[in-house]
Amino acid sequence: MARSRENTRARLLEAAHEVFGEVGLGAASVEAICERAGFTRGAFYSNFESKDELFLALITQLAEAKLDEVAVRVRGLPAGGEPADLVGQIADVSLAERMEPQLFSEVRTQALRDQRLAEAYLAWRARVRGRVEAIIVEVSENHGLKIRMPVDAAAQLLLDISEETAVQAALEGRSKEEVGAALQSRLVQLVTLLVDA
């Protein structure tokens, strides 16, 4: 039973990602998501209270997968590297991949009008920032780097720069590869400022 519920959630999340990507968060309907996944509305509502909850579950899944990838790369970094080289080796695991900036812009806009969604979105962002903080601490301790600001502020700055770079690149119509290259370049510049040489 638990495995079946897990599979249902996974199919709904994958369908939601496709539908949100095609028509946006506002225009995506529960019916369209259910149809794409091959389930009824009953299956949807036995797993998610609302479309907003589904969206937050989706971005949580996508962000966690990317941060897991970054954490694995961090553990495999060679000792004694330059800060910019270390960042270059992990920055191409972009949070922008599979996480369209249009959807984030939409959910933030809706969150400005909906206090409940705002609280859920801010809680999600805090969890992501916590994971980024842990990665910064691991890199700085394992490679003897001194960060010029508190770790939580550095993590927030890295997230802000990553999001803004992805949005700017989307507005310019760049490909995912170009987004990744732009993000890597900006993060390398930022880390150069954040880390004592």
Using one digit for the tens of pLDDT, what is the confidence trace for 150-177? Answer: 999 999 998 888 888 888 888 898 887 7
Residues 41 and 101 in one domain: no
Percentage with pLDDT > 90 across the chain: 21
Which range of 29-38, 58-67, 118-127, 188-197 scores highest in mean pLDDT? It is 29-38
> Which has more confidence, 77 or 132?
132
Q: Is the pLDDT of residue 180 over 90?
A: no
Whether residue 69 contacts residue 161, with contact meaning beta carbons closer than 8 Å, is answered with: no
Residues 38 and 73 in one domain: no
Per-residue pLDDT reduced to its tens digit, 111-134: 898 898 888 889 888 988 998 898
Residues 42 and 60 in one domain: no
**Helix spans in the chain (H):** 2-23, 30-37, 41-45, 51-75, 83-90, 101-113, 115-143, 151-171, 176-194
Average pLDDT score over residue span 92-113: 69
Q: Is the pLDDT of residue 64 over 90?
A: no
Q: Which of 2-6, 23-27, 163-167 has the lowest mean pLDDT?
A: 2-6
pLDDT for residue 95:
47
Q: Is the pLDDT of residue 96 over 50?
A: no
> Which of 48, 49, 31 is closest to 40 using CA atoms?
31
Cα–Cα distance between 58 and 180 in angstroms, integer?
21
Amino acid identity, residue 17?
H
Check which CATH number belongs to the domain holding 79 and give it.
1.10.357.10
Residues 6+ apart with CB under 8 A from 157: 149, 190, 194
Cα–Cα distance between 176 and 25 in angstroms, integer?
20
Residues 41 and 17 in one domain: yes
Domain boundary (26, 48, 70) is at 48
Whether residue 55 contacts residue 16, with contact meaning beta carbons closer than 8 Å, is answered with: yes
> Which of 62, 126, 125 is closest to 94 using CA atoms?
62
Residues 116 and 166 in one domain: yes
**Which structural domain, as residue segments, surrounds residue 101?**
51-196
Check which CATH number belongs to the domain holding 8 and give it.
1.10.10
Q: Per-residue confidence at 8, pLDDT binned at 50, 70, 90?
A: very high
Residues 23 and 39 in one domain: yes
- List 195's β-bridge partners, or say none: 147
Residues 6+ apart with CB under 8 A from 123: none
> Which of 3, 48, 101 is closest to 16 using CA atoms?
48
Average pLDDT score over residue span 177-187: 81
Alpha carbon of residue 87 to chain centroid: 17
pLDDT for residue 2:
66
pLDDT for residue 43:
92
Query: What is the 8-class DSSP label of residue 78?
Result: P
Q: How many domains does the chain have?
A: 2
